[in-house]
Every structure is written in C-alpha cells, then in structure tokens.
C-alpha cells in the first residue's frame, strides 16, 4: 500500500513537470497548432526548438514516448513554480498532457458518459498497440469526476478494457515472483483504488478483465479480492444510512436530517414555515427562510414537566454532516435539573391493582449485581426540540419557539434565552438579508397572534423580548 502511494506521488510530480514543459512549449507554438492534439503539438514544438534548445527536445521526446523512466529530478530543474501556472492559466492550458487534451477535444461542449465513452473508443481505435495506455488511463481516472462518471461501474470496466489483454500475464514462476510489468499493475491497482474510494463494488466482468490482463495472481486481482472481502462487510455498518442523493429541497433535507438526529420514531416533524420569496409594495424582495422543527411526545412530556422558573435555551448552530454536505440545526434545551429539585414521584400503594410496585424492604442491591454503572450516563439537560432553518437569527428562531408553543403551552411562561453563535450565517450570506428580517418577523408574529388566542401568545413574546 505504502509503495503504491509513493508511486502515486511520483506520478503526481511527473505530471506537474510535464505541465511545466508543456507550458514552455506552448509559448513557442504557433496559434494554428492549438487545435491539434497535444502530442503532435509537443512534437512540433520540439522540432521547432530543436536548434535552439537541444536538451529540451531530448527531454520532450523521451517523455512522450516513455514517460515512466524519466527521472523526477529533471522536473525539479524546471524553474517555474507551480503556483504561477495555476494563477494565470485557463483550463485549456492546464490540460496540456496529451490525453487530457484528448478528453478536452472530444468533449468540448458536453461532458457526459457518452462523450467519455467516445474518448475511450477514440483512443482504442487510434493505435492497435494501445501505445500510452497507462498514461491514458491515469488521465481518464482524473477526468472521471468531471464527466460525472466516477461512480459508474460500466465505465471503469470499459477503462480496464483499454489495457491490452494477456500481454502482462506472467508466464513463469520467476515472473510471478518479481513484479511483472510494474507500471501496468500499478495503474490497474490505481484504477481499483479509485473505485474503492468512490465505494464502487467491482463485478464479475471486472474480475474477468483483470484476470485476462494481469493473470490470476497479479496485484490488481489481489486488490480486487481484498475489495470483495471488505466491501460487503462494511456495506451495512452504518445503522443510519444516508441516501446517495440527498434531497435537493431544503425543507426535505431538513426533514431528513432532523429525523436522523432525533432517532425517535414517534417524533413529529413540523414545517413552521415554507421558504418563499415575496415582493413588497415598495419593490423590496423578501425571502422568508424555511423553519422546520421536530419534537417527540416524550420531549413534550419533559418540557411540560420543566420548572417554569428556570430558563430554556435556544442554542446553535450545530453542524451535521451528511456525506459532503453540512447542515446546521438548533436545539431548545434546558440545564440539567439540580439534584435538590429532583422530586421522585411518591409511591402510591393504591396504584397497582395487581401487584405491589415497590418492595417495602430495607435492603439495597448488592454490589455484585450492580449493573447500572455506565460512563456514558451523564446528567445532561433535556433537549426539548430541534429545528433547522436557513437563517438562524433570533427572529426566525423566535418564530419557531412560538410555533412550538401551540403544543407546549408551558413555553408561554418559561423565559427563553437565545445563545446563538455566528457560525454558518457567514457561510449562508445572511449579511445581505440581515437588514430585511430585522423588521420582517414582526408582521409574521403579529399575524400568528391574530390567529391564536392573544392572551396566550402575548406573554411569551414579552418574556422573550425581556430576555433578549
């Protein structure tokens, strides 16, 4: 594994070096050459330069034909730093490595699976000997995400098909013993590793191809076997799987994430506000953020038992990662109940008609049978509800709390404190809208107040404002 990584690094260095050379070459190229393949361009360039920079020519030819054996030290001789290229290059320039360019050429407008396949076909037909196939495969692997085929097993199989068959199969034990065709094997392993990275499970076709190409004992086949051993084992290790494609709609996404955090089948998701955009009379555009909350019956029960003299807190935002997406949520919680306030329900001997609910004995559990010790058993404050919104400022969250109040009347007389951090608001560009919803939520709450009983609704607002 480590070896493979080292080689990969080498590969990266080499590619960088190539790019540098390519850039230099291009500086010398004629405009008309741009449309042609980079390979010919490189040759042309080399020819053009042959008189003035002979060592360069050697380098380039060498590199184009048999890149692998080229020492990376040569790259270091190149004087132009990498950052420099990144800065003033456009995409076209970046892809001067021959095969990258092939991709760019074929799929100039649309980068789809079809075009990707077409590139592969073009390459296969180009040369019966499949010259430069390793480079091509490396380039293709890099380009896959761009074409959106990085999770397509068929494409990987097709890419494997680019390898010439039976050429690299070792024929005797010595060949098996030593690393037979290391570059090709390395490339095959790299391909499988990319599959592994994207969580793509190879199939029988992959196996057949690999055996055809590298023989039954080749490194890529071993890699295939390892993948097949581990992947099924890990497939269901996550008890809370996330779908491959997360819902696009923020409300649906919030629903999903909240249900995931709550992990309670009885918990009910409520959409307090759907996102919408309005244009006021003055022509101002107002975007109302979505507010989606979740609460379970047991949370409601806990909240109902909460001591009204102690405040509840709206806290957040807390991050929640769903694959490569980060969403933020807010919680309504309280501090842990201090021990002196904990009241145990008094034992009522007339409670159970069937059997005594308590034994009237002066004996405690023996230490040998004490199983309640648990390091995870910490006394934490109860979380009463959770919500998600696109704009986590106090006004919006206040709306959530007043929405909660419909089912939890206790919120009317419990002081609510907001302990919000700045976190994601920066990311979501809330600065722009900040001025908007400074005055926006007021009509909102007023409208709600008109709908509901005014006497109940007014109190919380007062207490909340007081605390604010």
Partner 1 sequence: MMSVNRFILSKSAQIRQLLCTVKHAGKHVVLQRNIRTHSRNLAYAKDLFLGQVNKDEVFPYPEVSLEEVEEINQLVAPVERFFSEEVDSAKIDRDAKIPAETLNGLKELGLFGVMVPEEYGGLGLTNTVYARLAEITSLDGSIAVTLAAHQAIGLKGILIAGTEAQKQKYLPRLASGEHIAAFCLTEPGSGSDAASIQTRAVLSEDGTHYLISGSKIWISNGDMADVMTVFARTEVEVDGVKKDKITAFIMERAFGGVTSGKPEDKLGIRGSNTCEVSYDSVPVPVENVIGEVGGGFKVAMNILNSGRFSMGSSSAGMIKKLIELTSEYAATRKQFNKNLSEFGMIQEKFALMAMNAFVMESMAYLTAGMMDRPGLPDCSLEAAMVKVFSSEGGWICTSEALQVLGGLGYTKNYPYERYLRDCRILPIFEGTNEILRMYIALTGMQYAGKILTGKIKEMKKGNIGVVFSMVGRKLKAAMGGSVDLGLTGKDGVVHPSLAESAKMMEQNVSLFGSTVESLLYRYGKTLVNEQLVLKRVADVLIHLYAMTAVLSRTSRSISIGLRNHDHEVLLANTFCTEAFFKNNYWMTQLEKHSPENNDANIKKIAKEVLDNRGYVCSHPLERTF
**What element of type H or E holds 211?**
helix 204-214
Closest approach, Cβ 184 to partner 1, in A, equals 26
The Cα 53–Cα 39 span in angstroms is: 19
Kindly tell me which of 369 and 376 has the beta carbon lying closer to partner 1: 369
Closer by beta carbon to partner 1, 12 or else 232: 232
Of 348 and 450, the one with the shorter C-beta distance to partner 1 is 348
CB-wise, 298 or 358, nearer to partner 1? 358
Q: Which is nearer to partner 1, 210 or 288 (CB)?
A: 210
Residues 186/133, Cβ–Cβ less than 8 Å: no
Tokens for 75, please give them.
């790259």
Do 438 and 444 contact (CB within 8 A), yes or no?
no
Element (H, E) at 294: strand 291-295
CB 256 within 8 A of CB 269: no
Number of Cβ within a 10 Å radius of residue 263: 10
Phi, psi of 386 (to 5 degrees): -135, 155
Least distance in angstroms from the C-beta of 200 to partner 1: 11
Angle at CA of residue 183, ends 177 and 187, nearest 5° = 110
Minimum distance of partner 1 from residue 369's CB (angstroms):
5
Residue 302: CB minimum distance to partner 1, A: 19
Q: How far is the CB of 197 from partner 1 (least distance, A)?
A: 18
Q: What are phi and psi of 294, to 5 degrees?
A: -140, 140
User: How near is the Cβ of 350 to partner 1 at its closest, in Å?
Assistant: 4
Rounded CA-CA distance 287/276 in Å is: 6
Interface residues with partner 1 (CB under 8 A) are 201, 228, 231-232, 235-236, 265, 348, 350-366, 368-369, 371
List Cβ neighbours of 93 (8 Å cut-off, separation of 6 or more). 23, 26, 85
User: What is the nearest approach in angstroms of partner 1 to the Cβ of residue 448?
Assistant: 33
């Amino acid at each position: 594994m480590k070896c493979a990584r080292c080689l990969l690094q080498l590969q990266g260095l080499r590619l960088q070096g190539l790019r540098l050379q390519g850039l230099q070459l291009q500086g010398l190229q004629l405009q008309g050459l741009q449309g042609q393949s980079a390979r010919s361009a490189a040759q042309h360039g080399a020819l053009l330069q042959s008189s003035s920079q002979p060592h360069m020519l050697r380098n380039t030819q060498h590199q184009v034909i048999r890149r692998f054996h080229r020492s990376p030290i040569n790259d270091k001789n190149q004087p132009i730093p990498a950052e420099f290229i990144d800065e003033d290059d456009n995409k076209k320039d970046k892809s001067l490595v021959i095969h990258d360019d092939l991709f760019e050429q074929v799929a100039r407008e649309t980068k789809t699976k079809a075009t990707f396949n077409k590139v592969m076909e073009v390459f296969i037909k180009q040369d019966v000997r499949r010259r430069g196939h390793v480079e091509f495969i490396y380039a293709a692997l890099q380009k896959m995400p761009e074409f959106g085929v990085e999770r397509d097993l068929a494409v990987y199989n097709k890419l494997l098909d680019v390898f010439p068959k039976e050429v690299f199969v070792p024929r005797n034990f010595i060949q098996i013993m030593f690393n037979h065709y290391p570059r090709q094997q390395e490339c095959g392993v790299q391909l499988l590793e990319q599959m592994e990275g994207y969580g793509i499970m190879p199939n029988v076709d992959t196996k057949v191809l690999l055996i055809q190409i590298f023989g039954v004992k080749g490194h890529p086949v071993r890699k295939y076997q390892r993948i097949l051993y581990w992947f099924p084992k890990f497939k269901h290790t996550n008890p809370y799987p996330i779908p491959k494609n997360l819902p696009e709609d923020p409300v649906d996404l919030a629903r999903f994430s909240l249900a995931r955090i709550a992990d309670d089948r009885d918990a009910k998701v409520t959409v307090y506000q759907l996102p919408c955009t309005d244009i006021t009379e003055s022509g101002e555009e107002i975007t109302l953020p979505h507010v989606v909350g979740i609460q379970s019956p047991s949370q409601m029960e806990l909240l109902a038992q909460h001591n009204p003299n102690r405040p509840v807190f709206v806290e957040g935002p807390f991050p929640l990662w769903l694959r490569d997406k980060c969403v933020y949520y807010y919680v309504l919680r309280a501090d842990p109940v201090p021990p002196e306030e904990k009241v145990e329900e008094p034992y009522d001997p007339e409670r159970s008609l069937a059997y005594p609910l308590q034994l009237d004995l002066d004996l405690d559990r023996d230490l040998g049978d004490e199983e309640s010790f648990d390091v995870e058993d910490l006394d934490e404050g109860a979380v009463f509800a959770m919500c998600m919104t696109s704009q986590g400022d106090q006004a919006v969250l206040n709306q959530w709390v007043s929405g909660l109040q419909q089912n939890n009347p206790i919120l009317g007389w419990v002081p609510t404190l907001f302990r919000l951090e700045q976190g994601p608001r920066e990311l979501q560009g809330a600065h722009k809208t900040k001025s908007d919803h400074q005055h926006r939520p007021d009509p909102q709450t007023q409208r709600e107040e008109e709908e509901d009983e005014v006497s109940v609704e007014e109190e919380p607002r007062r207490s909340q404002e007081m605390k604010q």
